[in-house]
Amino acid sequence: MDLATATFKEISSAVRGKQISALEVTKYFLQRIESLDKRINAYTTINSAAESEAKIVDQKIANGEDPGLLAGVPFAAKDMFCTKGMRTTAGSKILQNFIPPYDATVIQKLRNAGVVILGKLNQDEFAMGSSNETSFFGPCRNPWNTDFVPGGSSGGSAAAQAARLAAGTLGTDTGGSIRQPASFCGVVGVKPTYGRVSRYGIIAYASSLDQAGPLTSTIEDAALALEVICGQDERDMTTSDHQVPNFSQDLNEDLKGYRIGLLKEYMNSGALSAEVQKAVDIAITALKARGAQFVEVSIPLTEFAVPMYYLIASSEASSNLARYDGVKYGFRAQFENLSAMSLDDFYGQTRGQGFGKEVKRRIMLGTYCLSSGYYDAYYNKACQVRRLLRDQFLDVFKNCDVILSPVTTSPAFKIGDRVSDPMAMYLNDIFTVSTNLVGLPGMSVPFAVSESGLPIGIQLQAVHFAEQKMLNVGLALEKESLVAGRSPHVI
Ligand code: GLN
């Protein structure tokens, strides 16, 4: 078995069958991180207990106990997930030394399934960004070409997955942060339906949009990870009691009877690069040949999706980030005479030094939108339009099972190219933000490679809780993928 390409099933059955120990698997990946991550900067923290955690899995197997569905499979998580005793920074100076006293539910579920957590992954600060350039820990690099961004905000997760610095990774997606880096790095990335996965213990960015999900090398691995992490959680009242299907067992690439929607507003957006357009066209032809039917559908409110998203996300962020005040935990500015400080100065200096530029921009925008006099004109209005957007999507899903579209307008861009132009960066989110505004499941499937050798993903979206349909179309796309057999240059 080659661990650089092995699937979850291959690893866990070899560990269970004692052909290889969980400890050996863990050591392999830790060594890989040691030798490759200097050039990628995907990890912010390595779990110093990883080897001893692997030994516990081996011990369970030796004792004849059930080691779990993903026994000995090494994962790493975006630095948004609280990990007991392991530093969790959200990519920010303000949480630079924060060590949570508990695990996020998702981390706990992975551990219960026999997963070994290798460490924590780089990201845009508080998940605000599309390129992983706003991280306090410096930019993460794309393993296919280290001059390019890996995408964001879960850039470390996508880059680590592409370079196989873990067998599986976790990200969060508020407006595209799993799908967009997955597309740029040539890996599978799934954002589940809002409410499928517990947000307990995940650092909040915009609570009505945030959702956690897996980034993996194959669709089957993503399906297995979803089986483990989905489900109702009494610690998160927004989790749904919908039954969690056996996604991996129900995978089926037969597309007969499937209707796939093409959104008029996405396909004619004019913003699409020729290479992404070509990838989408090839994907459509391939799926037609496999029996899928295509229908044109329309969401007229698409033109308002990006402004709606940035208004709502910034408003919720300004409220969520109020907790970082230097009093309870996290970074506190140094003061010569603390007792002589006014409270305003104490907060102001701590937050002024602790947050980066992009985070401050969002806090100011959000505070403005929520302030009295503007609340109705901006925040409330955006929430009303959000509801109408949902109605339009629900109508469209009466006519199709899955919507196929690009993930981004272009393949990965160069580090530094867009970071000084926030508007250009925001507009790049046009294809991904509606999914979150409506709470739908969405995913990116690695499909094509650009002339300059960078991956291009295809986005699939389904109606609430119809992840299985999306995964099935994803499986068919995977079989036709032009990325198959190619690996990032860094390896
Ligand atoms: N690029 C979007 C933003 O900056 C999405 C981020 C995300 O999904 N976390 O808000």
Hey, what domains does the chain have and what are their CATH numbers? 8-254+408-479 (3.90.1300.10)
Q: What pLDDT is stored for residue 334 in this prediction?
A: 93
- Closest ligand 1 atom to Cα of 154: 9
Closest by CA position to 432, among listed 191, 184, 230:
191
What are phi and psi for residue 438, nearest 5 degrees? -95, -15
Q: What pLDDT is stored for residue 247 in this prediction?
A: 98
Q: What pLDDT is stored for residue 489 in this prediction?
A: 73
- Closest ligand 1 atom to Cα of 428: 1
- Closest ligand 1 atom to Cα of 426: 1
Q: What pLDDT is stored for residue 338 in this prediction?
A: 86
- The residue ranges of the chain whose pLDDT is under 50 are none
Ligand 1-lining residues (CB < 6 angstroms):
127-130, 153, 173-177, 205, 313, 429
Q: How far is the CA of 153 from the centre of ligand 1 (A)?
A: 6
Q: What angle do CA 206, 264, 260 make, to 5 degrees?
A: 85
Q: Which residues are catalytic?
A: 78, 153, 177
What are phi and psi for residue 342, nearest 5 degrees? -80, 155
Q: How far is the CA of 339 from the centre of ligand 1 (A)?
A: 39
- Decide: 405 and 456 in contact? Cβ < 8 Å: no
Contacts (Cβ under 8 Å, ≥6 apart) of 441 = 190, 191, 192, 193, 196, 435, 461, 462, 464, 465, 466, 467, 470
What are phi and psi for residue 212, nearest 5 degrees? -95, 155
End-to-end CA distance of the chain: 17
- Decide: 199 and 211 in contact? Cβ < 8 Å: yes
Q: How far is the CA of 204 from the centre of ligand 1 (A)?
A: 12
- Biggest CA–CA distance in the chain, Å, is 74
- Measured CA to CA, the distance from residue 16 to residue 71 in angstroms comes to 7
92, 124, 128, best to mutate for ligand 1 pocket (most atoms within 8 Å of CB): 128
Minimum CA distance residue for ligand 1 atom 10: 128
Q: What pLDDT is stored for residue 490 in this prediction?
A: 66
- Decide: 21 and 58 in contact? Cβ < 8 Å: yes
Q: Is the pTM of this model over 0.95?
A: yes
- CA distances from residue 142 to 129, 161, 329 in whole angstroms, order as listed: 15, 11, 33
- Measured CA to CA, the distance from residue 312 to residue 268 in angstroms comes to 26
- Closest ligand 1 atom to Cα of 425: 1
Q: What pLDDT is stored for residue 144 in this prediction?
A: 97
What are phi and psi for residue 391, nearest 5 degrees? -60, -40
Q: How far is the CA of 177 from the centre of ligand 1 (A)?
A: 5
Q: How far is the CA of 418 from the centre of ligand 1 (A)?
A: 15
